[in-house]
Amino acid sequence: MENTVKMPKGYKAAGVSCGIKKNGNKDLALITTDAPATAAGVFTRNIVKGHSLKWSMNHIHQNLIHAVVINSGNANACVGPEGDADAACMAALAAKLLGCEKEQVLLGSTGVIGYRLPMDKIGAGLQDAYSNLSEDGSFQAVSAIMTTDTFPKQLSLDVKLSGKTVTIYGMAKGSGMIHPNMATMIGLLLTDAAISKDLLQKALKSVVNKTFNRISVDGDTSVCDKVLLLANAMAGNREITLEDSDYALFTEGLEAVATTLAKMLAKDGEGATKLIEVNVKHAPDKETANKIANAICKSPLVKTAIFGEDANWGRILTAAGYSGAKFNPDLVDVRIGDLLMCKDGAGVSFDEEKALSVLKGNEIFITIDLKMGDATDTMWTCDLSYDYVKINGSYRT
């Protein structure tokens, strides 16, 4: 695998500013594929669903996909039937430019909830984006899908499948509200691999469960969150139709791209100063491990303590205790970095200076050892800082 940032064969992208965002930043991305692509998708489980998201859910499975349009600054959510009409209109405008059916255009919208999309601006913006489409346009596109993100997130890598090189590219936006089950994040994965529709969906689902569903910034989940995966078969590999070694290599590559993006999202959590990795070890089963990792990642008290570089391991154990998981508290060890702070459920003395030097790092590793079985789970989150409050206290206005 080679790590570069390039889009796979046949994809073009553009990102423009069409005036949805008040500050004039880029807010409309258009990504196209020369050969229509098989597509897979994973969507928010929030029962309130944005109109652009519903459009994509309704059309992803019956159609080969020509393009994806994503706007930022407005979520196109909770505006009533007009929101569905606006979504259809946005897809139709792009389809007209590209000469395809509107059902072959997938959509994403992210931003504030409850306001109609400015369709005139989007119409003009799509024209602009169309005339700027380029094989090198991914940086512009990823810039145009950002909301409170502080840096654009994209990467790509190559995988060799039976002698042919296949490229897997990914972009994502997130920051704030990122949480298991697709929260306020939009991920777009592109590949030139040839792979059957069923296996594409299977690969995406399993990879999302191990990556994007393992990050939490504040425990909120959102109404517009999705990960899309397009495969346009232009790499010329023999189509993957079985779960063979090519499938394994492809999935491994996809997971590597998604893991890196997921960690970028956690690290860029709103106001975050540190990436936190929570590892639960020796749990009796996967569900127990996940419940505990999840509770620790969501705990504002743990996250503020890490921000304050305070080795408050009691809060970690407390979060495990209220997670709903069943375990024996008298067996638990808690470590921050390599430092053992709690052994068999009781505090042990540790070097406070060493603890401070561990906590001064940019990446904090928390390990909970239940000493009960063989199951593990890993999740990522970030600390909770003053800036989280600042950013989220005046998002809408």
Residues serving a catalytic function are: 184
Q: In this complex, which beta carbon is closest to a copy of itself, that of residue 138 or of residue 381?
A: 381
Please give the C-alpha separations between residue 105 and each of 110, 304, 318, 338, in angstroms, as whole numbers. 17, 42, 47, 49
Phi then psi for residue 298, to 5 deg, are: -90, -15
Q: Are 290 and 318 in contact (CB under 8 A)?
A: no
Kindly state the smallest distance separating residue 306's Cβ from a copy of itself, in Å: 9
Q: In this complex, which beta carbon is closest to a copy of itself, that of residue 103 or of residue 333?
A: 333
Distant-in-sequence, close-in-space partners of 390: CB < 8 Å, separation ≥ 6: 271
| Distance between CA atoms of residues 61 and 147, nearest Å | 28
Environment class of 15 (CB within 10 Å of its CB; exposed 0-12, middle 13-18, buried 19+): buried
Q: In this complex, which beta carbon is closest to a copy of itself, that of residue 124 or of residue 301?
A: 301
| Distance between CA atoms of residues 351 and 129, nearest Å | 57
| Distance between CA atoms of residues 216 and 213, nearest Å | 8
Q: In this complex, which beta carbon is closest to a copy of itself, that of residue 233 or of residue 341?
A: 341
Number of Cβ within a 10 Å radius of residue 6: 16
Q: In this complex, which beta carbon is closest to a copy of itself, that of residue 140 or of residue 385?
A: 385
**Of 149, 256, 150, 266, which is closest to residue 213 (Cα–Cα)?**
266
**Of 42, 183, 69, 189, which is closest to residue 133 (Cα–Cα)?**
69
Q: In this complex, which beta carbon is closest to a copy of itself, that of residue 145 or of residue 217?
A: 217
Residues that bind a copy of itself (CB under 8 A): 45-49, 75, 77-80, 83, 112-115, 176-177, 181, 183, 218-223, 298-301, 304-305, 307-315, 317-322, 326-327, 329, 341-342, 344-347, 384-386, 388-390, 392-397
Kindly state the smallest distance separating residue 169's Cβ from a copy of itself, in Å: 29
Q: Are 140 and 16 in contact (CB under 8 A)?
A: yes
DSSP per-residue letters across 26-78: --EEEEEEEEEEEEEEEE---SS--HHHHHHHHHTTTS-EEEEEEEEEE---S
